[in-house]
Structure 1
Amino acid sequence: MKRTHHPTGHRRSGPDRVLGLLLALVAAIGLTSTTAFAVPSHRDASAAMKNIELSPMSTVAAMQPSWNLGNTLDAIPDETSWGNPPVTKALLDTIKSQGFRSVRIPVTWSGHQSSTAPYTIDETWMNRVKQVVDWALADGLYVVINVHHDSWQWIADMPTDHDNVLARFKATWTQIAATFKDYPGSLLFESNNEPQFNNTTDAQGIQYNDELNTAFHTVVRQSGGNNATRLLVLPSLHTNSGQVFLDALVSEMKSLNDPNLVATVHYYSWYPFSVNIAGGTQFDATAQKDLTDNFARIRDTLVSKGIPVYVGEYGLLKYPDYFQPAPRVERGEALKYFEMFGYEARISGVTTALWDAYNFLNRSTLQWREPELINQIKSSWTTRSGTASSDRVFLAKSSAITARTLTLNPNGTTFQGLWQGSTKLVQGRDYTVSGNELTLTATALTRLAGDRAYGINATIEARFSRGLPWKIFVTTYDRPVLSNATGDTSGLTIPTQYRGDQLATMEARYADGSNAGPVNWTPYQEFNEAFSPDYPGNGLVLTSKFVDSLRDNTQATLVFHFWSGATVTYNVTKNGGSVTGTVA
């Protein structure tokens, strides 16, 4: 499809541009999600604004929300090497139709480029990148392209191969800049993804990153065409938002004395929660503080100084992952994270790009893998949603049903009541509310549990004055039962009757109190790396990675923690090539 170039660098027309201006206005004057304002008609707004040029800050605001075409043109060595099908125009059409206003297209060049001077990029590969960029631009999307996994493939060697790396980096951007120099201002260039340098301190890494960002800036600005004023995206070292990295990036941007620069960082939450390690099973106060501190630094260091910010990647490092046997982050905890992330980004006035390697959108069917998850992300772009301390109420089948209490997190909304489908539950009879404490009565839970089969018996919704409802799964369980097992260094599968419960984490210790497992700094091992539930197969797998790490002829005591609060203790001993597991 032929792409029409806009004659002015940042000018766009139509409803997308109008909405971008309105979003920029919201960001500029600090309107909250509860502020109401009249949106002019497309016709009136276009007539009034058609001669307005967007500032860099407003342009980046107009790019919100953004999406990453991950694990595709950045895959090694080729586009389909990491499991995704080739990009189609239909994919970009889908992203546009789903409300995204920009797309980041990560590109790894190393496998399609000579590794020696003059570092020529293969014409076929460059044309493929152009084709995908053209499709996105034709849909009216802003586009960001970059130098991606080259960062660790060859750029990381800069401390020991400085001149060659710098020459190759300049040659790479010289060719990219020449190819796209006449493209409109809706195409942005990003210097380098997650800059990293082998065997360096942070101070040394910052110097190398500054040198590359400066080289990138010089090459692009001198390449002619629209590159003279194109928005250039500069990363901090590792795209880390720690204060020292942000301060260094601000200093670099000041030294370049160029108003058309954008800062970029990435955010994947507090690490233990993001991968479920070290007991980080919940989006708790520690994980929430990590998030709010992150955006406070961004606001104070960058946004307050008029520097546009593009959070080029966000998500959770290991969720969702549909190639794993079980999700390592509990569904409700993930929803709470994405809800709060969207809010913090919105009040900070930054644009965010969801990292999607395959986990969110199925590239073959062009359908969202988990609609409730993407709906929560979409909702967070414009408003807050209420949540609760858990999305589960566990009822032990072996015990009489009693009342259960959850803590509501209204997040600035007002609790409206509970529903089961279209039926509203009755306050006073089915539940009570005291402050933010929601108590489900024994009478209601008995009705909802029905025949008390193991697993989810009923789903109810807590609804709030705005945003999405919070689903609560009434679940019958009993304490899981594990059995003795034998295996070898390839792993140990423990026969397990989950009885309606779900695995949260595992801690492992030796009798002397030291930690057992491949991770030695915490007894709580990493979900799906050291252990993994096999719910359909009624098993609990200790991986080869975990088994291999065990001391020979030394018993390790494992404690499995389940979401109901139940725990089960289990002993494992490795003797040469064999492994034995016994119920404690």
Structure 2
Amino acid sequence: MKSVLSKTVLQSMGFALILTGLMSCGSSSNSPADPTPIPPSSPPTVAQESPLPLPVVNQNTLADAEMPADVIAKMGIGINLGNTLDAPNEGDWALAAEEYYIQAFQDAGFKHVRIPITWGNRIQEQAPYTIDADFLDRVELIVDWVLDRDMYAIINVHHDSWIKENYDDISQRNRFDTIWLTLSERFKNKSAKLLFEIINEPRGLSINQINQLNLRTMDIIRNQTRNRIIIYAGNEWSALDDLFNVAIPYPQDEYLIANFHSYDPWNFAGICVQPWGSEEDKTNMENHYMHARDWSDTNGIPIMMNEFGSAKFDFQNPQNVCASSERADYLRTSVAMIKKYGIAATFWDDGGSFSTYDRSTNTWGFEMEILTE
């Protein structure tokens, strides 16, 4: 969703400087016999980290693995637990997660839950980049709430701007790698219904950088588990065109899903400053999903859209309100196209402007019936 080191220093002792000190003992600094002054030693050099090695492990194979095309069909339309673990602190942007939310999602008919996670406040800035143990426990608890209900769960790296802004810094890449080294090891024996999404909307990364990051993360995950499903996307806002522009990481990998986001047109679905519902609007929407399906068929990679939706109002300018009838039409048309073109999709529910579920009252808005019909 669109929203917000120290290194080891090696110091060298200047031998010449030591020698100067020894020769000056007992003689006047003004003596003609004094040696020619020796210039100061060079500034200390800064040691560069090396890329983290992959651990030596016994690669895991999940007995309950399903092929991605089958998973796409079974996941259907799901819901995001947005603004929760992706907030700076859980509870900052929306009410903290409760198990009854997940039960409500299942009762409503959703088949999968995406759990966006931001790690920056929970992982050390210096090597060894340890992740806060309590937060990892919290992530696992929420994942288990989903898996225990036989639903699919997706976890990711979400609003972590530090990797997007400092990708050329090897220490930042090592910090990012540590997240997936930790998750792929900790969750290696979880149900195959747990899916790993590499990164959310990596705005600021070049195409070459996201290609490199996707490959490296797949190497890390595959080192632990041969057949857990991995979800990748393009750079920038993870739009469909961004997906088309990046390389498919390891095209022969059988457990790969491509992903894109769509709030098109943003002037309606995001900030409520234009109407929606004309025949041209609906044709444009259908063409969008048709192009996604065609790309998937051509490349043999199942595809999903793990963020879509329509705002009730622009949260930055709340006077801009989207008409409920137009929002209903937009969502109904979206659902019809998603089903027609065989794309799994995840409704963006942030507990606020984009929400359909009221966490405080455990009730639903009209959007839920459209999404699950």
* TM, length-normalised to structure 1: 0.50
**Equivalent-residue separation in structure 2 for 1:88 and 1:362 (angstroms):** 12
**Paired residue secondary structure (1:262):** strand
Matches within 5 A, 1:522-533: none
Please state how far the C-alpha of 1:283 moved relative to its aligned partner.
2.6
Specify which of 355, 361, 373 is matched with residue 365 of structure 1: 361
1:81 equivalent in structure 2: 92
Instruction: Name the structure where strand makes up a greater proportion of residues.
Output: 1
Residues 291 and 325 of structure 1, relative CA distance in 2, 3 Å threshold: same
**Which runs of 5 or more residues in structure 2 are unaligned?**
1-59
1:456 equivalent in structure 2: none
1:95-135 deviation per Cα after TM superposition (whole angstroms, max 9, x unaligned): 11110111000111110110122111000000000000011
Specify which of 345, 354, 368 is matched with residue 338 of structure 2: 345
2:78 equivalent in structure 1: 66
**Equivalent-residue separation in structure 1 for 2:266 and 2:318 (angstroms):** 21
2:257 equivalent in structure 1: 262
**Paired residue secondary structure (2:76):** coil
Specify which of 112, 127, 132 is matched with residue 137 of structure 2: 127
Q: Structure 2: which amino acid aligns with 1:353?
A: T
Q: Structure 1: which amino acid aligns with 2:207?
A: I
**Equivalent-residue separation in structure 2 for 1:220 and 1:116 (angstroms):** 22
Residues 97 and 242 of structure 1, relative CA distance in 2, 3 Å threshold: closer
Work out whether residues 233 and 243 of structure 2, in 8 Å CA contact, stay in contact via their aligned partners in 1.
no
**Paired residue secondary structure (2:171):** helix
Work out whether residues 72 and 79 of structure 1, in 8 Å CA contact, stay in contact via their aligned partners in 2.
yes
**Equivalent-residue separation in structure 1 for 2:85 and 2:70 (angstroms):** 28
**Paired residue secondary structure (2:106):** helix
2:66 equivalent in structure 1: 54
Q: Structure 2: which amino acid aligns with 1:196?
A: R
Work out whether residues 339 and 377 of structure 1, in 8 Å CA contact, stay in contact via their aligned partners in 2.
yes
Work out whether residues 107 and 149 of structure 1, in 8 Å CA contact, stay in contact via their aligned partners in 2.
yes
Q: Is 1:334 aligned with 2:327?
A: yes
Specify which of 218, 233, 236 is matched with residue 235 of structure 1: 233
Work out whether residues 155 and 197 of structure 1, in 8 Å CA contact, stay in contact via their aligned partners in 2.
no
Matches within 5 A, 1:374-385: 374-379=368-373
**Equivalent-residue separation in structure 2 for 1:116 and 1:322 (angstroms):** 35
**Equivalent-residue separation in structure 2 for 1:239 and 1:231 (angstroms):** 22
1:208-256 deviation per Cα after TM superposition (whole angstroms, max 9, x unaligned): 1111111110011112xxx22100001111353444x33334x323x45
Work out whether residues 338 and 376 of structure 1, in 8 Å CA contact, stay in contact via their aligned partners in 2.
yes
1:185 equivalent in structure 2: 192
1:536 equivalent in structure 2: none
Q: Is 1:175 aligned with 2:182?
A: yes
Specify which of 146, 153, 163 is matched with residue 155 of structure 1: 163
Work out whether residues 313 and 355 of structure 1, in 8 Å CA contact, stay in contact via their aligned partners in 2.
yes
1:90 equivalent in structure 2: 100
**Equivalent-residue separation in structure 2 for 1:119 and 1:286 (angstroms):** 50
2:42 equivalent in structure 1: none
2:7 equivalent in structure 1: none
Residues 291 and 68 of structure 1, relative CA distance in 2, 3 Å threshold: same
**Which runs of 5 or more residues in structure 1 are unaligned?**
1-6, 12-52, 199-204, 380-584
Residues 275 and 286 of structure 1, relative CA distance in 2, 3 Å threshold: farther
Q: Is 1:9 aligned with 2:62?
A: yes
- Indicate the structure whose relative CO is greater, using CA pairs within 8 Å and at least 6 residues apart: 2
**Paired residue secondary structure (2:286):** helix
**Paired residue secondary structure (2:259):** strand
* TM, length-normalised to structure 2: 0.78
Work out whether residues 81 and 114 of structure 2, in 8 Å CA contact, stay in contact via their aligned partners in 1.
yes
2:274 equivalent in structure 1: 280
**Equivalent-residue separation in structure 1 for 2:181 and 2:71 (angstroms):** 25
Residues 305 and 164 of structure 1, relative CA distance in 2, 3 Å threshold: same
Please state how far the C-alpha of 1:320 moved relative to its aligned partner.
5.3
Please state how far the C-alpha of 1:323 moved relative to its aligned partner.
9.8
**Equivalent-residue separation in structure 1 for 2:218 and 2:104 (angstroms):** 33
Q: Structure 2: which amino acid aligns with 1:189?
A: F
Please state how far the C-alpha of 1:303 moved relative to its aligned partner.
3.7
Q: Structure 1: which amino acid aligns with 2:182?
A: Q
Please state how far the C-alpha of 1:56 moved relative to its aligned partner.
1.6
1:291 equivalent in structure 2: 285
Specify which of 94, 109, 113 is matched with residue 99 of structure 1: 109
1:32 equivalent in structure 2: none
1:135-184 deviation per Cα after TM superposition (whole angstroms, max 9, x unaligned): 1111111100001111xx2011235x431222111111101111101111
**Paired residue secondary structure (2:248):** helix
Q: Structure 1: which amino acid aligns with 2:203?
A: Q
1:567 equivalent in structure 2: none
2:302 equivalent in structure 1: 308
1:184-215 deviation per Cα after TM superposition (whole angstroms, max 9, x unaligned): 111000000011216xxxxxx11111111111
**Equivalent-residue separation in structure 1 for 2:248 and 2:230 (angstroms):** 13
**Paired residue secondary structure (1:228):** coil
Q: Structure 1: which amino acid aligns with 2:71?
A: T
Please state how far the C-alpha of 1:291 moved relative to its aligned partner.
1.4
Work out whether residues 275 and 329 of structure 1, in 8 Å CA contact, stay in contact via their aligned partners in 2.
no
2:243 equivalent in structure 1: 246
Q: Structure 1: which amino acid aligns with 2:194?
A: L
Residues 175 and 271 of structure 1, relative CA distance in 2, 3 Å threshold: same
Aligned-residue RMSD, C-alpha: 2.3
**Equivalent-residue separation in structure 1 for 2:207 and 2:345 (angstroms):** 24
**Equivalent-residue separation in structure 1 for 2:156 and 2:138 (angstroms):** 14
Q: Structure 1: which amino acid aligns with 2:81?
A: L
1:327-367 deviation per Cα after TM superposition (whole angstroms, max 9, x unaligned): 61111111111111011111111101000001211111111
**Equivalent-residue separation in structure 2 for 1:283 and 1:75 (angstroms):** 33
1:515-540 deviation per Cα after TM superposition (whole angstroms, max 9, x unaligned): xxxxxxxxxxxxxxxxxxxxxxxxxx
1:39 equivalent in structure 2: none
Please state how far the C-alpha of 1:302 moved relative to its aligned partner.
1.4
**Paired residue secondary structure (2:321):** coil
Q: Structure 1: which amino acid aligns with 2:73?
A: A
2:214 equivalent in structure 1: 213
Please state how far the C-alpha of 1:74 moved relative to its aligned partner.
0.7
